Structure 1
Amino acid sequence: MRIAFLTAHEGVEQIELTVPWQALRGAGHETRLLATRPGTVRAFRWLEAADAFPVDEVVAEASPADYGALVLPGGVANPDALRTDVRAVAFARAFMEDGRPVAAICHAPWLLVEADAVRGRTLTSWPSLRTDITNAGGIWLDEPVRVCTAGAGPLVTSRRPGDLDAFLGALTGVLDSGR
C-alpha cells in the first residue's frame, strides 16, 4: 500500500516520523513524505533541531486518491503549521471522508480538528489537545492508543512517543485487515 506521511516543512517530532516510517516500509508498504514546501523537512527531538528528510511531494500537488492511508506525525509546531495550510487540511479531510485509514500521534490530531473530522469520533492525543478535540465534537480518552471505527473509516490515534509500540501495533493491524 502507498502511504502518505504528511508534515509541515519544520517541526515534526523525529521519532514519530521515523519509527512508523521504518516499520511500515519493513512491512512492505511504500511510504512517501509529503510536506507544505519542496526540499527537506526539518525534524526535531522535543524542542531541538534534529535531522532533515527529503520531501517526495508537495501536498498542494498531491492527490489523496493516490494513497491508501495517511500518517500524521506529531510535534508541537508541525500540526500547528499544517492546520493553517488549506491544502493540508483538505488533504487530511479527504482521507477521513473517503474512509481510508488515518493515523495521528501526539499533537497531530490538531489537523483533524481543523478539518472538522473528529466530530463523533473517539480518540486520544497529547493531553493538551483534550479541550480542542472535545470542543470539535470528539470524545477524548487518555490511553496509549485508540482505534475508532465510527465514521467513514478507521482512525488510529496515540498520545506520545512512549506509546509508539502500541500505535504501530494498532496501525499495522488496521492496514493488514484492509489488504
Structure 2
Amino acid sequence: MRFAETAIVGVVTVDIEPHEDERGAFARLHCPEAFAAAGHPFVPVQTSLSRNPHSGTLRGMHYQPAPHGEAKLVRAVRGRMFDVALDLRPGSPTYRRWTSAELSADSGRALLIPEGVAHGFLTLEPDTDVLYQITPAFQPGHEAGVRWDDPAFAIAWPAAPRIISGRDAGYPDHQG
C-alpha cells in the first residue's frame, strides 16, 4: 500500500499495490501494521456498504461529533465517485477546508478520513458501491452533517446532484 497526504491534515489517500499474474490480481486493502508504520494507525471494527444505483447520487456531508467520532476508510468497490473530506476540527490548521479524490473500483484507491472530518460523495457512474471500514462502531442517534453546498465551504462538486436525501439537502449553513 502507498500512503499520500492530502491538503487536509490527517486525510490520506491509500493506493493498493496489486500483484498480478495470469490468474488476475491480488492486493491488500487494509493492514493495521502498514497503516501504523505509515503514521496512520487505523483498526476498523465495522464494515458497511453503500449501494447507489444511479449516477449523480450525493450522500453527505456526514460526521459523528465527539465523543462518538469516527475514522473511516472509504473506497469504491464498484463504479466511480467523487469523494470529499471536509475538516470540521476547530483547532486544526486546515479547519473549514476540503479535499477530494476520485475513487473507483478500477483504481482501488481509498481515502482515510479521521475523526472530526465530514465525508460525502457524488456518484459518477450508475451502480457505484462504496465500502466503509469504520472505527469505532457507529453510534445511532449521534449523526451530524453540514450541507453539501454550504457557501462557507465552497466545495467544487463536478456536477449538481440528481438524487439527494431530504436530510442531506436540509442541513443548515455551518455556524462555526
The TM-score normalised by the length of structure 1 is 0.26
Work out which structure has the larger RCO, using CA pairs closer than 8 Å and 6 or more positions apart in sequence: 2
The answer to which structure has the higher helix fraction is 1
The answer to which structure has the higher strand fraction is 2
Larger Rg: 2
The TM-score normalised by the length of structure 2 is 0.27
